[in-house]
Amino acid sequence: MSSSSSSTTHSLALATTYVVVLLLLHVPNYNAQLNSTFYSTTCPNVTSIVRSADQQALQSDSRIGASLIRLHFHDCFVNGCDASILLDKNGTIQQSEKDAAPNTNSTRGFDVVDNIKTALENSCPGVVSCADLLALAAEASVSLSGGPSWNVLLGRRDSLTANQAGANTSIPSPFESLANITSKFSAVGLNTNDLVALSGAHTFGRAQCRTFSNRLYNFNGTGNPDPTLNSSYLTTLQQTCPQNGSGTALANLDLSTPDAFDNNYFTNLQNNQGLLQSDQELFSTAGAATVSIVNSFSSNQSAFFESFAQSMINMGNISPLVGTSGEIRLDCKNVNGG
């Protein structure tokens, strides 16, 4: 090789390196902005305050853990983890995310969020954001129900706006194909392992009949039940949700241990006993990358717990408001002065 072509190659390599470095500089590194010790001096007891309020709520409502983690999930998928889901419709907020299709008459636990916020304001006024409150409540809900613990990264701030249209389009639906759900996760930077691990949150909590009754009687217009539904489980569900019954009646998402956070959800999928279409698809979609992950989590609970904790951290890192963006809401339902 001549010296001129060698120097050209060297120049190209340098230029490529320079471009790669530039690209890396523009990749948002939320881990650097959020950290687990954010409130160590301003509100050192933040974790125990949230955990205590969460524990109190669980004593009178076994569903509340699942409800609180769902609020964090539905928050993070719309404009990032900014507590926009908590804002009521009022003079400042024209359209609330609470009224979006995935949330209306469905999301719950707002009263518990208010109780936690009151406790935080009493101890550390004006310090802890509602977005961080949701992240901490999700972790407490999981660990108090027998699941893993993790160090929640903190430092998010609260939004000044809500995005109802985004809530209608960005939040995964129980009726969607695995391909659609995968792309919604991908759109917020979450991969297939995150999808399967976070779906494992359906190891506790309830779902309304209207979210799965399509599987019981007339699946995809066939006039028959979903063929991937275990026949005895189908009979049980048809008793809970008769054809013209109440769409708001409840069924356990995990038929075996409905209030415990464990890996039984994945064993249920292997037995064709996933409640939602979006659950069962993880195992029953032929050739899907999700199948081997379901099998792994079913056979190894600690592998599931480890992946779940990491995926919760990943989800909590979606587009947080930091620094001087947004605000620290004094009342999670309303923007300050709104």
Is residue 97 annotated as involved in ligand binding? Answer: yes
Is residue 75 annotated as involved in ligand binding? Answer: yes
Which has the closest alpha carbon to 115: 62, 151, 68?
Answer: 68
Is residue 203 annotated as involved in ligand binding? Answer: yes
CA end-to-end span of the chain:
70
- 10 in active site: no
How crowded is residue 43: how many other Cβ atoms within 10 Å of its Cβ?
19
Is residue 82 annotated as involved in ligand binding? Answer: yes
Is residue 78 annotated as involved in ligand binding? Answer: yes
Residue 51, C-beta contacts closer than 8 angstroms, at least 6 positions apart: 136, 140, 143, 144
Is residue 205 annotated as involved in ligand binding? Answer: no
Distance of CA 219 to CAs 32, 300, 307, Å? 46, 32, 32
Is residue 196 annotated as involved in ligand binding? Answer: no
Half-sphere exposure of 273 (CA within 13 A, CB side): 20
Is residue 202 annotated as involved in ligand binding? Answer: yes
In 26-105, where do the E strands start and end?
A: none
Residue 189, C-beta contacts closer than 8 angstroms, at least 6 positions apart: 314, 317, 318
Active-site choice (10, 26, 72, 74)? 74
Q: List binding-site positions.
A: 75, 78, 80, 82, 84, 97, 172, 202-203, 254, 257, 262
Which amino acids are annotated catalytic?
74
Annotated binding site for Ca(2+): 75, 78, 80, 82, 84, 97, 203, 254, 257, 262
Annotated binding site for substrate: 172
Binding site for heme b, residues?
A: 202
